[in-house]
Amino acid sequence: MKSPINTDWTRQLKLFLAGTALSLSALGVGTGQVWAVSNKQIIQQSIQTLQKSDRRWIQINLSKQRLIAWEGGKQVYAVLISSGKKSTPTRVGTFKIQSKYKSTRMQGEDYNVPNVPYAMFYQGNYGIHGAYWHKRFGTPVSHGCVNMAPNHAKWLYEWASLGTPVVIQK
């Protein structure tokens, strides 16, 4: 009779060291072996896997304030963005487009913006969208979202579909 106890397991652990979040994944296969993988390594592995595929995916580099649309390992579009400022940073990690709105209202504690164009949300209220209220692309100014000029947001909105991977790195 097979044991109902499975000795294979996977766990996610988030550690906060000196104000920096470190995500660790540990995998055990009944051998007592454990591996730790940083968030940066997970992101790099995701990029390598996506570049070897033929899938459409979006890469956002926060330090360069750049968004690149990819089809496998081929860049098909690149544009300047504005990510979250220091007090409201854009989250780093791997995500997928969960919802799309041609136009939506975005509200927060200190903002209420109607008719935000071409919004694609990848985690809760975090998304990629057009921003008609500023032209400071290349500079972090948002409340955590990824802002683009409306014409660029329209292109990306029409190109990407629900489930499109989004990889955000520093």
Q: Please, which residues bridge with residue 26 across strands?
A: 11
Task: Give the domain ranges of the chain.
Answer: 56-169
Region 56-169: CATH code: 2.40.440.10
Active site residue 134: no
Do 127 and 67 contact (CB within 8 A), yes or no?
no
**More confidently predicted of 14 and 135:** 135
Is the predicted pLDDT of residue 100 greater than 50, yes or no? yes
Q: In this predicted structure, which of 25-29, 58-62, 97-101, 143-147 has the lowest mean pLDDT?
A: 25-29
- Please identify which of the residues 129, 134, 143, 152 carries the catalytic annotation: 129
Active site residue 152: no
Is the predicted pLDDT of residue 49 greater than 70, yes or no? yes
